[in-house]
Amino acid sequence: MRLTSTEEYGLRCLLTVARAYPASLSIGQVAEAEGLSHDYAAKLLRVLRQGGLLLAKRGSQGGFRLSRPVDEVTVWDALKSLDSPIYDAAFCEGHTGQRDTCVHSSGCTVRSLWTWVGGALEGVLARVTLKDLLHGEVHTTQALMSAAGAAP
């Protein structure tokens, strides 16, 4: 499994905006903080706004801010806004080999595996908030272990 650059940089931009909560940040401030081009940061912020995670205000006092408090926005919320699900049923339709349908279309153990892994990942990431990520690496590791059901 690999994260796309959209997911990685989008989450980083969201965290930059979260650090300023409840204040707003301009596209330029976010781009500078993350080492991104103005255009790429603008694209990511627009996607996050369209996903309902950010609010935008125009004008000289404008910018982007979180749509809700940092402890109410999960990593899963961010990933859903930034890209497609980790695994969806349409995945199999794109991997049929030389046939019209997959030779394993009924009783597929690989499909079961990816469905379970996707659900487990969603379950963990839906319990980790931006607030958890803002408290540093040790706290984030503890939050992940707790969300996954492991002892810290």
- C-alpha distances in Å from residue 111, one per residue of 90, 101, 132, 149, 152: 11, 14, 32, 24, 31
Model pLDDT for residues 62-121, shown as the tens digit of each residue: 899 999 999 999 999 999 999 866 666 666 666 666 777 766 667 777 777 877 888 888
pLDDT reported for residue 152: 45
- C-alpha distances in Å from residue 98, one per residue of 88, 95, 106, 149: 21, 9, 17, 42
Query: What is the number of structural domains in the chain?
Result: 1
Model pLDDT for residues 25-35, shown as the tens digit of each residue: 999 999 999 99
Q: What is the spatial distance between Cα 53 and Cα 70, in angstroms, rounded to a whole number?
A: 10
Model pLDDT for residues 120-141, shown as the tens digit of each residue: 888 888 989 999 999 888 888 8
pLDDT reported for residue 39: 97
- Predicted confidence (pLDDT) at residue 38 exceeds the cutoff of 90: yes
Domain that holds residue 88: 5-148
The amino acid present at 2, given as its one-letter code, is: R
Statement: the pTM of the whole predicted model exceeds 0.95 = no
Provide DSSP, 13-49: HHHHHHHHTTS-B-HHHHHHHHT--HHHHHHHHHHHH
- CATH code where residue 88 lies: 1.10.10.10
Q: What is the spatial distance between Cα 102 and Cα 45, in angstroms, rounded to a whole number?
A: 38
